[in-house]
Copies of this chain bind each other. A is one copy, B any other.
Amino acid sequence: MNSWQDSYAGRRVAVTGGLGFLGSNLAHALAWAGAEVTVLDALVRGCGGKRENLEGAARHCRVVQTDIGDPEETAGAVEDCDIVFNLAGEISHGRSMTEPERDGEINTAAQLRFLGLLAHMRPGIRVVYAGTRQVYGVPLSLPVDEDHPIDPVDFNGIHKYAATMYHMLYSRLGQLDAAVLRLSNVYGPRMALDVPGQGFLGVFLRQALLGEDLGVYQPGDQLRDPIFVDDAVDAFLAAGAVPTLPARSFNLGGGQALRLDEIATTIAQAAGTESRVCPLEFPQRAKAFDIGSYVADWSRARRLLDWRPRTDFATGVERTLAFYRDHWETYLPASGALCTVAQGQ
């Protein structure tokens, strides 16, 4: 139970990308807290959104299928909102490298149109944007705080950073009141295990559930700090509810710096299938935009939002696997023959 949830009763909130992994978990939490939730989602193929993600909360949410880059469709959905959680976007780094223009349209151009609309219709509104650690590129040192230089190594990072700058600029102009949460790898129920490009944690979870081997890109000692989705949701709730934002950007991490091979082993063992953890050569095409190790310094969020990750990785993995076992038909692909993605994404 998050201490901020009380403040959402009766509030009118919009969640863009609300049929996606993180967005739908947030919508569940908001509905549970008594908010009037409007979910906007274009269900863009490959972005991981699905209507089943709202199962159990659907009757508390109004779902508007719209591209946030289309002002006409979007205007009616946000005209009476008090808070916007802005999570719509493409998260695949790999796909951004093969289709950079598509990524730019979804993550940058559409965001500009959406924020321009919001600033016009709901001037000064609180917006909490799902940013990414990818904007920092290869960390110069660990852990990474919010003052780390910006140096993205893929188009996705560039486009998400441009959208970040839009949020900042509109806030500087007093037309929006935005917070940007820069997330490490998030995992948990409702990840799109059946969609490629959604990150290595989803790949490992799928492989473990299907009893396939988990291939770890070598050397395997790359660090990540996975965040359980409920903890990420807590940060969104905090940033949306705090009366005055004491800063605009916040790094969020899971609180444990884990090696890729440790992560794989934890998942494989928890699954209890025949999966083994195997070394895998780092593919050249993925190496080009690999960032090595990443661990977030989330002390600003702790200090200013009273936030901290509460779920240790082993516990989060158990809960996640339990969810998928209960929802196998919806989330697991018929065959395990999906392409994998660059690990560490």
Task: Point out residues on A near B: beta carbons under 8 Å.
Answer: 100-101, 104-105, 108-109, 112-113, 116, 147, 149-155, 158-159, 161-162, 165-166, 168-169, 172-173, 288
Please determine whether A104 and B100 come into contact, CB atoms closer than 8 angstroms: no
Integer count of this chain's copies in the complex? 2
Q: Which residues of chain B come closer than 8 Å to A108, judged between CB atoms? A: 104, 108, 162
Please determine whether B165 and A158 come into contact, CB atoms closer than 8 angstroms: yes
Please determine whether B150 and A150 come into contact, CB atoms closer than 8 angstroms: yes
Please determine whether A112 and B104 come into contact, CB atoms closer than 8 angstroms: yes
Given contacts A109-B109, A112-B100, contact A161 B153 (CB under 8 A): no
Please determine whether B172 and A153 come into contact, CB atoms closer than 8 angstroms: yes
Q: Which residues of chain B come closer than 8 Å to A151, judged between CB atoms? A: 168
Q: Which residues of chain B come closer than 8 Å to A169, judged between CB atoms? A: 152-155, 158
Q: Which residues of chain B come closer than 8 Å to A104, judged between CB atoms? A: 108-109, 112
A150 to B148, CA, bound (A): 11
User: Which of the residues B101, B152, B154 comes within 8 Å of A112, measured between beta carbons?
Assistant: B101
A-B contact pairs, 21 of them (CB 8 A): A101-B109, A101-B112, A101-B113, A101-B116, A104-B108, A104-B112, A105-B109, A108-B108, A108-B162, A147-B149, A150-B150, A151-B168, A153-B169, A154-B169, A155-B169, A158-B162, A158-B165, A158-B166, A158-B169, A161-B162, A173-B288
Among the interface residues A147, A153, A168, A169, which one has the most CB atoms of the partner chain B within 10 A? A169
A108 to B112, CA, bound (A): 12
Given contacts A100-B112, A104-B112, A109-B109, contact A152 B165 (CB under 8 A): yes
